[in-house]
Amino acid sequence: MPSLGRLHLITDTRPGCDPLAVLRAALPVARAELVVQVRVADDATDREAYELAGQVVALCRPYGAACLVNDRLHVALAVAAAGGHVGAEDLPVPAARRVLGSAAVLGVTAREPRSAAEAVAAGASYLGVGPCHATATKAGLPDPIGPDGVRAVVEAVDVPVIAIGGVTAARVPALRAAGAYGVAVVGALSQAADPARATAELLGALTC
């Protein structure tokens, strides 16, 4: 598996958002440090997910950025994405690994050390750990775990930990100090007045 990028941009497909415009701004700045996770609304059709993911794969290719698909692994396969991301309501990790194959990137959501270690044993390439901080982007999440919760997971596994939930550039140093390899963001880029500049700020915080 090629080395994983440290800045994960999750597409914001809520009404009024333009995920491809955000991606076009972020790609020339972050290049191969960018991982784009295509995440569509639950009520989006597979056709909509496929068309968005195909556009993302094409945009990422010249920059060496990776595209992953959230939840819908058949879409990941259909567009030849680098892999996918699953959580508790998606395919179990061993099944997801079987679907994607041994060479693909498989991200798995984890909140605490025990399930994190189980996910890695079952085939996770990296873990998405959070919510680290409060977020309005996704409803129904449990309480934030903070940098200490991230550290507990980092100490239990030997794969990259990607911190997610309310991540801003200002919060990156504490997450890195807790051992996070990288971060995943929705709002920090999709709600930014200047997504290229916000990308540079996140990247600077991740790589200093």
Ligand X SMILES: Cc1ncsc1CCOP(=O)(O)O
Ligand Y SMILES: Cc1ncc(COP(=O)(O)OP(=O)(O)O)c(N)n1
* 90 binding Mg ion? (CB under 5 A): yes
What is the Cα–Cα distance from 120 to 97, expressed in whole angstroms?
11
For tokens 């440290």, what's the residue? 6
Q: Is 207 annotated as ligand-binding?
A: no
196, amino acid identity: A
Task: Kindly state the smallest distance separating residue 168's Cβ from ligand X, in Å.
Answer: 8
Would you say 166 is a known binding-site residue? Answer: yes
Torsion of CA 58, 169, 160, 12, to 10 degrees: -40
Choice from 13, 125, 137, 199 touching ligand X (CB under 6 A): 137
Print burial letters for 38-62: b (CB count within 10 Å at least 16), e (below 16).
bbbeeeeeeeebbebbbbbbebbee
Binding-residue pattern over the window 168 to 207 for ligand X, x denoting contact by CB under 6 A: -----------------xxxx-------------------
Contact residues for ligand X, defined by CB under 6 A: 130-131, 135, 137-138, 141, 164-167, 185-188
| Site of interaction with Mg ion (CB under 5 A) | 71, 87, 90
Q: Which residue positions form the known binding site?
A: 70-71, 90, 109, 135-138, 166
